Amino acid sequence: MKILQIVPSISLVYGGPSQMVLGLSQALAKAGVEITILTTNSNGDVGQPPLDVPLGVPISQNGYEIYYFQCSPFRRYKFSIDLLQWLHKNAKSYDLAHIHALFSPVSSCSAAIARSQKLPYILRPLGTLDPADLQKKRQLKLLYAAALERPNLAGAAAIHFTSDQEAKTSERFNTITRDIVLPLGVSLPLSESHSIREKYSIPSDKPILLFMSRIDPKKGLDLLLPALENLDQDFYFVLAGGNPQDPGYESTIRDRIGSSKLKDKTSIVGFVTGSEKTALLETADLFVLPSYYENFGIAVAEAMSVGTPVVISDQVHIWQDIEQSQSGWITQCNIESLTQILKAALSDRQEQLQRGKNAQKFAQKNYSWDAIAQQLITIYQALHP
């Protein structure tokens, strides 16, 4: 089969949901599917230069091809006339398109072109149909949905959700859709050989609590920081991540930590990737993500894959899997609940180790890219007329 993967950007700036397209494409290519990725050279909304990549020509990597197109005129919206023109010209050469992100002009227009060219397409919302997310710029989104996303949803061969809860809660704008639920996969490089504790001067007798995600209001840092201040147990906090899209909020969080009693037991390490990221996940005793809403939480799955138990909110949509597999602890989205859960998790080292083992076992079974690719190939074949 010849499959298009269309995503507004795969820059590291935009985090895991964009990066997963690369892991998925590699696994599909390994299984014999001919994959072409269409994306833009967008690399952040403000300040950052675009990705330094060849434009409009196929680049071979990891068994698939990727085309980058000029992002213009407004970088914030990751739009590309060149990408859409290429798609209009070449759509009939492919069997199906897998389009990632809604409420993004290049994705929305790609779906409309696919429909006009009779190319079946799957839409992956990336959490954008969550009622909480739709509250942001609600009136604008309602107009956008009426003009573009409602017909796109109605015309899609299927909608790809990454958890049962995401599918259950997502808005469909009164359309009837065929839903598929497939989680995201995990692919981490080998960790660094040197010690994370040595690098950040973390005492060996202090358990490490790790937050690793985009520094964004929806991630629940306004709950986590007060909860950490409430703890009477000894610990060390590592804050990993950044937000070049909203540097003001990131500065607010840094200032908040710098002026609190967390200052002397916190390392703010910024955005980490590659082997250092793996090492941080492996070294942490607990991974914490108390998000207000999260359609999947790829960093949660990554932590689980290396045997680190997780503390997540009941608004991270894989929380039921975590609870049933005893891979971590579940908190409500309030300071009191999070404080009590963290106290309980920190109080029993043997329980941490057991839940870490459970987490790794669950991740190996459910978050393998190869297994996910095989399921997706079956779906692609069923949807291709």
**Could you say which of 3.40.190.80, 3.40.50.300, 3.40.50.2000, 3.40.50.12280 is the CATH number of the domain covering 196-366?**
3.40.50.2000
pLDDT class for 46, splitting at 50, 70, 90?
low
Mean pLDDT score, 101-112: 93
Q: What is the pLDDT of residue 132?
A: 80
* Paired strand residues for 208: 236
Residue 74 has pLDDT above 70, yes or no: no
Residue 340 has pLDDT above 80, yes or no: yes
Q: Which span out of 128-132, 140-144, 258-262 was modeled with the highest average pLDDT?
A: 258-262
Q: Work out whether the CA dihedral 49, 54, 59, 65 comes out positive or negative.
A: positive
> Which residue did the predictor score with more confidence, 384 or 283?
283
* Paired strand residues for 4: 36, 97
Q: Look at residues 305, 270, 256, 298 and name the one whose alpha carbon lies nearest to residue 199.
A: 270
Take residue 82 and report the two structure tokens written for it: 């060149």
Which pairs from 201-205 meet CB under 8 Å and 24+ separation?
201/267, 202/236, 202/238, 202/267, 203/236, 205/234
Mean pLDDT score, 25-48: 90
Distance CA 225, CA 257 (A): 8
Q: Establish whether domains 2-185+368-383 and 196-366 are of one fold.
A: yes
Take residue 363 and report the two structure tokens written for it: 């991740």
* Paired strand residues for 329: 311
* Contact indicator for 77, 103 with CB cutoff of 8 Å: no
Lowest average pLDDT, out of 87-101, 117-131, 139-153, 303-317, goes to 139-153
* Contact indicator for 163, 125 with CB cutoff of 8 Å: no
> Which residue did the predictor score with more confidence, 298 or 65?
65
Domain boundaries, the chain: 2-185+368-383, 196-366
Mean pLDDT score, 20-29: 94
pLDDT class for 222, splitting at 50, 70, 90?
very high
Q: Which one-letter DSSP state was computed for residue 13?
A: G
* Contact indicator for 130, 295 with CB cutoff of 8 Å: yes
Q: What is the pLDDT of residue 273?
A: 86
Take residue 189 and report the two structure tokens written for it: 């490089």
* No. of helices (H) and no. of strands (E), the chain: 16, 14
In order, the DSSP letters of 315-360 are: TBTTHHHHHHHT-EEEE-SSHHHHHHHHHHHHH-HHHHHHHHHHHH
Q: Between the CA atoms of 372, 44, 133 and 139, what dihedral angle is there, to the nearest 10 degrees?
A: -130
Residue 212 has pLDDT above 90, yes or no: yes
- Please list, in sequence order, all residues whose beta carbon lies within 8 angstroms of the beta carbon of residue 66, skipping any fewer than 6 positions away: 10, 36, 37, 39, 58, 59
Q: Look at residues 126, 128, 178, 107 and name the one whose alpha carbon lies nearest to residue 20.
A: 126
Domain 2-185+368-383 has CATH 3.30.1330.40: no
Distance CA 138, CA 172 (A): 15
Q: Which backbone phi and psi does 100 adopt, to 5 degrees?
A: -110, 120
User: In terms of residues, how long is the chain?
Assistant: 385
Mean pLDDT score, 277-303: 94
